Structure 1
């Protein structure tokens, strides 16, 4: 307490001006790690005070050395000729350490820096490795859980950067984020999700592998053989169909001609002959007799409805006489 009062008294009774420089002015560190700030002057400081969010945590006296008020805060001397430098260290930083860090020396104005405490969570590509057929679209989903502040996310496919459409949800003081990537399966690839906050020097990553199964190439010889066989079968079918169609038409035509011929023959048979029948035997002759020497017969021929011819045949010895009466 005495040291604290003395340092304040010395700071308020400035007798000379000193140039003071504080670095870095903005620092981002992960929770649980160390934060470091450097404060240097052009003149040897009689008193140097370090404060966090307005709370005095270390006093450095030129004659007595370093007085710290908690084990998490310490200082190291890196003074060189012409440059009086002290490094202020905060170990195992916590979220309530975030805010202003102040360095002030006797004879100089206070210098302010900003400390940001961040947290890195987990990163995982959901589903792990994938095997897809060539040409198929594949989706990968990266999940970042327990980060602060909201992390930046990106993808890398075979070392080539890809953008990420991120969506985040706050859970308490932390963020859970999801990012999706859609790629076409072209070749075997290494797919990497990168998640980062400013406090990380390198992003946290998760890596999976995409295995692409190529489509089997068809044997051209087999394809040609199948094509030729199919074409030959189709041609043979067409030839058989053409022959069958031709035969059916020919048979149908032959049947039609045969029917005409039969009809013509029947018509000729049914129609009486118009030729001159004079001097010809009457086909309608009927024999009628009682002995072997004389035979009486009657025959007739109808030429019309008005004419009728009858006759009697006499057999005299070896000669035959035919008498005809026309009515």
Structure 2
């Protein structure tokens, strides 16, 4: 059996037998960049081909070199000792180029690798306010948009990796790209530098977004709150001033109306007090006694007065005698009294 193996080796060497010493390695590259794949063969070899997703994209002949049919696919060749290395160059890769890359040494084996075309999108921290109260919990949101594949999001606090339990990450696939949102929750006691880190295999260095979070004491209000407080105070004060002015105007109008009404009432009372027939006159009400010698006039205007001694009677015409008015034990007679005719009975 040993002699048979040696015979096969000698036969392969005589017939120019070759094999693949090292096949291509899988690669992840960014969109619109170049992808490179190497395949090393042992001498002597005659013909080899490169295939992408099962389609031949480049043929390399030992005698004449590469046969280019698509300018996006070219090669560089290198010979070192008893080995020959051919390098496939795929220029300006697109997402459709992702797939299996194959090095095929005709009749002597194949080697495969995988090409992954990736996209790094935008990355930003969306918080508008970067000032928080000391030891108060706050949420910092990092948004990664239009990435492929889904990016890995991590956080750093003052150059130290944050605990994964302190943040959550959600992703959605829209057509060909991922949108990823990561939310970090913390309650800082002092100022802190926060870094959101997004990475995919094609990126030589992760993409980052950085913010500085300012922490204020409990009694200190953020500047935005002060502005809002001042605006609210000015507004409330202005409204209160307007209300006070309106109330003052109404009060003055009512006071003037009340004063005018009181003045008119006083004048009416004075007028009534001066009037002889006024009911509210301030002159003390005078009370008098009836004149027992007074008799109402008859139709002819004569009064009959009868004597009490039976000596005859005399009829005389008398005018009405007004009542005698007594006030405070004094007698008063009205002004301009009427003349009185007296009748004497004998």
TM-score by length of 2: 0.55
Per the alignment, residue 213 of structure 1 pairs with: 216
Aligned residue for 2:74?
A: 74
Partner Cα distance (1:167, 1:89) in 2: 36
Give the match for residue 181 of structure 2: 178
Structure 1 segments, 4+ long, off by >6 Å, are none
What pairs with 1:209-248 in structure 2 (closer than 5 Å)? 209-214=212-217
1:191 to 187, 191, 194: 194
Alignment of 1:1-327 (within 5 A): 16-24=17-25, 26-127=26-127, 130-162=130-162, 163=164, 164-214=167-217
Rate the CA distance shift 1:210–1:69 in 2: closer, same or farther, 3 A: same
Distance of 1:17 and 1:112 partners within structure 2: 18
State the Cα RMSD in Å. 2.0
User: Distance in 1 between the 2:129 and 2:78 partners?
Assistant: 51
Q: Tell me how far 1:87 sits from its aligned partner.
A: 1.0
Q: Which runs of 5+ in 1 are unaligned?
A: 1-13, 218-327
d(CA) in 1 for partners of 2:40, 2:98: 22
Once residues 128 and 154 of structure 1 are traced to their aligned partners in structure 2, the CA distance between those partners, rounded to angstroms, is 21
Alpha-carbon distance in 1 for matches of 2:218, 2:145: 38
Secondary structure of 2:79's counterpart equals coil
CA distance in structure 1 between the aligned counterparts of 2:110 and 2:129, rounded to whole angstroms = 55
In structure 2, stretches of 5+ residues that fail to align are 1-14, 221-346
Q: Secondary structure at the match of 1:23?
A: coil
Q: Are the equivalent residues in 2 in contact too, given 1:195–1:203 (CA < 8 A)?
A: yes
CA distance in 2, matches of 1:107, 1:56: 16
- Contact 1:45–1:106 (8 Å) recurs in 2: no
Does the aligned pair in 2 maintain the 1:17–1:107 contact within 8 Å?
A: no
Larger strand fraction of residues: 1
TM-score, with length taken from structure 1? 0.58
Residues 50-84 of structure 1 deviation map (CA, whole Å, 9 limit, x = unaligned)? 11111111111122112111111111113212331
Contact 2:118–2:148 under 8 Å retained in 1: yes
Say which SS state the counterpart of residue 96 (structure 1) adopts: helix
For residues 221-270 of structure 1, the C-alpha deviation after alignment (integer angstroms, 9 at most, x for no partner) is xxxxxxxxxxxxxxxxxxxxxxxxxxxxxxxxxxxxxxxxxxxxxxxxxx
Task: Report the equivalent of 1:267.
Answer: none
Q: How many residues are treated as equivalent by the alignment? A: 203
Show the counterpart of 1:320: none
